[in-house]
Structure 1
Amino acid sequence: MQFISTRGGMQPQPFSETLLEGLAPDGGLAVPVELPRVTADDLEAWRPLSYPALAATVIGLFATDIPREDLARMTADAYAGFPDGIVPLRPIDGGLTLVGLSEGPTLAFKDMAMQFLGQVLEYVLEKDGRVLNVLGATSGDTGSAAEHALRGKERISVFMLSPQGRMSPFQRAQMYSLQDENVHNIAVEGVFDDCQNLVKELAGDLEFKRAHSLGAVNSINLARITAQVVYYFWAWLRATDAGGATEVSFTVPSGNFGNILSGFFAKGMGLPVRRLVLAANENNVLDEFFRTGVYRPRAAAQTLATSSPSMDISKASNLERFIFELVGRDPKRVVGAWADLDAQGLFDFSSEQPRFAEEFGIVSGTSTHADRLATIRAVYEATGEIIDPHTADGVKVARSYVEDGVPMLVLETAKPQKFAETITEAIGVDLDFSPELREMLAAPQRVTEMPDDAQALRAFLSRHAL
């Protein structure tokens, strides 16, 4: 399996090299030359597999340059700290089922891919005798998941940008309380998109990138996407009966388009998926795009601070991988779309919009703060289950797309403890925190505040990089 760039300027390269690159040298994103195909017989053969074994099998379709036994060891190590179920499916009201993705160390779905990424990065770096300085941006959960997966690793340092004042107190504590020498938290004056733009600017400076061995753990890193593909297969295998080809639909709370892109890949590989339902919050740029075909990111000042903060994103970096497929894998049209965006503040695929649902199965909807509160309350009253605000966005939008005979699976985003204030507002319940979580919340925090300035970030990296 070889990988190319969405912008056409990268020679095909194997998974391991793609893993360390982050952004492609031409500024594009790595995609497979072609998606691997999975048959109905493959799916049936996979039913008895444990989650680590399934992960090694599915990721192995992409990472063909890594021996399967090494992948099996890495996936076993990655998920060793998870409970036995790893990804439980839990029915709730209205015919919906939650796919439990928040059983990892930071209580968020990002752990599912990040724990594997920590293993495979260390494997590749040790094999090649290299070091990596990971530069990432987070709107809340990516940062803590990355830092907890990479903390203490000798060949890796982590530089994580987060927007000042835009995360929940729990999210800040999970990141800023870490005291590991290889973890550097940087709070940027601005919103997530400003942090992401800084990452892309430095990643696009090839001389600086090479000199400082910069890599990425955001969902621009293809290893994140491929590891997330696994739980779509896992959930389908547990929501359907053996011997059938039952279609299911997935609803995915979406900010940077990475999680739902993994579902898009799974569908393209042959998984029987009827619909991929994108759930946005008030920063509903992606909902507008999938309803109209017009992509119109908001400026930082217009990006709202909401009660589902991990989705407070206006410019979704993974959308480029979808656009690449939409335009028939024509890199010139991808580059042209971004040129239109730079010149006009938007690009327009309204003529292609009917294909979004008809050909690709993608539909969308928006949820608001009031919707979140009402949904958390309704689920709690009906089932006793407490869901976090992002998952509530998913449940609210999913209800509009439930079809008879088609299981609707909603991807859980995080444990409710990460957003306790919103839970209390919704249902009047003060959540219990374990002694370990209370200790984390009370721990001293270590963070560097920085303006939205690429030169300041370059200077900081130059001083602290491996």
Structure 2
Amino acid sequence: MKYFSTRGGADRLSFEEAVLTGLAPNGGLYIPERIPSLPENWQTKWKNYSFVELSVEVLSLYISPEEISREELRGLAEKSYSTFRHPDVAPLHKLDEKTFVLELFHGPTFAFKDVALQLLGNLFEFFLSRRNARKAEGETPESLTVVGATSGDTGSAAIYGLRGKANVSIFILHPKGRVSPIQEAQMTTVTDSNVHNVSVKGTFDDCQDIVKTLFNDKEFNAKHHLGAVNSINWARILAQTVYYFLSYFHFQSQLPAGVSAEDVELQYVVPTGNFGDILAGYYAKKMGLPIGKLAVATNANDILARFWTSGKYEKVDSEVALGQTVDASGVKETLSPAMDILVSSNFERLLWYLSYENAAGETDADKRAAASATLDSWMTKLKVDGRVEVPVAVLESARADFLAERVHDPETLATIKSHFEAATSYVADPHTAVGLAAAKRLAATNGPNVYQIVLSTAHPAKFLEAVSRALEGSSSFNFERDVLPSEFHGLLDKERRVIDVEKADVDLVKEVIERFAKD
């Protein structure tokens, strides 16, 4: 399997090259040359597999055994998921007869990003160790300078995945004052010498733009050997496809007596900002996982929800004044800050596939080239004008696999409260609550045979303010007793290491990397 850029070009990279490169030199994202089909007997063979076993099966469809053998894949998966607190890694929790929550927060940093970033950290180490072992005595070992942006959870998950790794330096940019106190503490209290937290006065989109600019700077990139941990890195998406398969099998085992999987439709509802988590579901579906439409759940930063309504992918709504207070960047501050994003990086990958479905050409190569050219023109227009509108045929292709809903803060708070006061007394973080609220709205129009799995992306303890605000006045709620894990006790009081950058300026960030990166 080879990988190419969404924006075209002749380069075809191995899995190793795609993972270590991260972002393509032309600004595109790497995607596989083809989406593989599932083996004929996958439903019976994989039915009782563990997360590690499913990881080996799914990843091996995208990675040549000449690159990583099945035995090596198993070792990487076992090492990555031994750090999780739950034996299932991603357990499925039943809320009611037709609603389930896929809990993705049982990793080291209590967020779904751990699933991919524990694996990615081990892949980086595996590839660098293998490359350096092949070098002649006296040759300079290869190193990697990992640069990423975070709206909260990616940063801590990446840091925990890469802390202490040989020949790796990691720089994580976060928007100052725009991540939760727990999220900030998780990142900045890691004092390993190869970890560098950079607090940027700006928004997540500013941080993300700086990261992309650094990757596009060929001279700087070549000097520091930049590596990506954001979901622009293909390995992130690939790792996340696994829990769609795991949850599918666990869902089947929890169906009511007399109800067959063939008689129901399974709908995944995914709270998303950067579109990576739900894109993994799209790949799983295209591989052959028999599921219904994927539902995009956004907060007030609703560029994705607006796209499925109008076909316009635009930073600022050109038709409706929503009335929220926004900062100069256009980002609305919400109770679900990890989704406070204007431009969703991974949406580019989906746009490429939508363009390909509607491309003209006599051969597959012609269609791919046409799709890349169209995608490149769309991304250029988005960058220059802040908006792009796709043809009706492309929008209809998008609607064939996706639905979209927008949820505002009052509904988020009400959803947290209603689920805590329900018979199950379930405590949801605000991002999961966005998904649950969207699921409830969709359930009102779903057919009687539709069941829902809502992806729970973070532990509620990471968002003390929002959860406490939602449950204020509930005499039965005690945050420390009902939510706070022992790992968080005293976290806010620990020593911290953080580098402040007073404005969103790529040159200032370059200076930080030049100063602290390993030679």
Match of 2:296 in 1: 278
Q: Matched residue of 2:101: which SS?
A: strand
Q: Matched residue of 2:329: which SS?
A: helix
Match of 1:68 in 2: 70
Aligned-residue offset at 1:400: 2.3
Q: Does structure 1 residue 323 correspond to structure 2 residue 351?
A: yes
> How far apart, in 2, do the equivalents of 1:440 and 1:21 lie?
34
> How far apart, in 2, do the equivalents of 1:50 and 1:122 lie?
24
The answer on whether the counterparts of 1:294 and 1:350 sit within 8 Å (CA) in structure 2 is: no
The answer on whether the counterparts of 2:98 and 2:450 sit within 8 Å (CA) in structure 1 is: no
Match of 1:230 in 2: 242
Q: Would the alpha carbon gap of residues 264 and 282 (structure 1) be closer, same or farther in structure 2, given more than 3 Å must change?
A: same
Gaps of 5+ in 1: none
2:513 maps to which of 443, 451, 461: 461
Q: Matched residue of 1:301: which SS?
A: coil
Match of 1:179 in 2: 191
Match of 1:431 in 2: 479
| Letter paired with 2:76 | M
Match of 2:439 in 1: 398
Match of 2:362 in 1: none
Q: Would the alpha carbon gap of residues 365 and 158 (structure 1) be closer, same or farther in structure 2, given more than 3 Å must change?
A: same
| Letter paired with 1:309 | P
> How far apart, in 2, do the equivalents of 1:29 and 1:44 lie?
34
Greater shift, 9-18 or 315-324, is seen at 9-18
Q: Would the alpha carbon gap of residues 230 and 354 (structure 1) be closer, same or farther in structure 2, given more than 3 Å must change?
A: same
1:161-310 equivalences under 5 Å are 161-240=173-252, 245=262, 247-298=265-316, 301-310=329-338
Structure 1, residues 141-171: CA drift from partner, whole Å, max 9, x if none? 0000000111011111110000011011110
| Letter paired with 2:54 | L
Query: Quick check: which has more Rg, 1 or 2?
Result: 2
> How far apart, in 1, do the equivalents of 2:336 and 2:50 lie?
32
Aligned-residue offset at 1:438: 1.7
Match of 1:408 in 2: 452
> How far apart, in 1, do the equivalents of 2:208 and 2:99 lie?
33
Aligned-residue offset at 1:342: 2.9
> How far apart, in 1, do the equivalents of 2:384 and 2:413 lie?
39
Aligned-residue offset at 1:120: 1.0
Identity %: 39
Aligned-residue offset at 1:436: 3.3
How well do the aligned residues superpose, as a CA RMSD in angstroms? 1.6
Q: Does structure 1 residue 127 correspond to structure 2 residue 127?
A: no
Match of 1:57 in 2: 57
Aligned-residue offset at 1:44: 2.0
Match of 1:445 in 2: 496
Aligned-residue offset at 1:401: 2.3
The answer on whether the counterparts of 1:394 and 1:411 sit within 8 Å (CA) in structure 2 is: yes
Match of 2:461 in 1: 417
The answer on whether the counterparts of 2:315 and 2:330 sit within 8 Å (CA) in structure 1 is: no
| Letter paired with 2:126 | Y
Q: Matched residue of 2:457: which SS?
A: coil
TM-score, normalised by the number of residues in structure 1: 0.97
Match of 1:33 in 2: 33
Aligned-residue offset at 1:430: 3.9
Match of 1:353 in 2: 395
Q: Does structure 1 residue 79 correspond to structure 2 residue 130?
A: no
Greater shift, 105-114 or 91-100, is seen at 91-100
2:407 maps to which of 361, 367, 381: 367
Aligned-residue offset at 1:406: 2.4
Q: Would the alpha carbon gap of residues 35 and 370 (structure 1) be closer, same or farther in structure 2, given more than 3 Å must change?
A: same
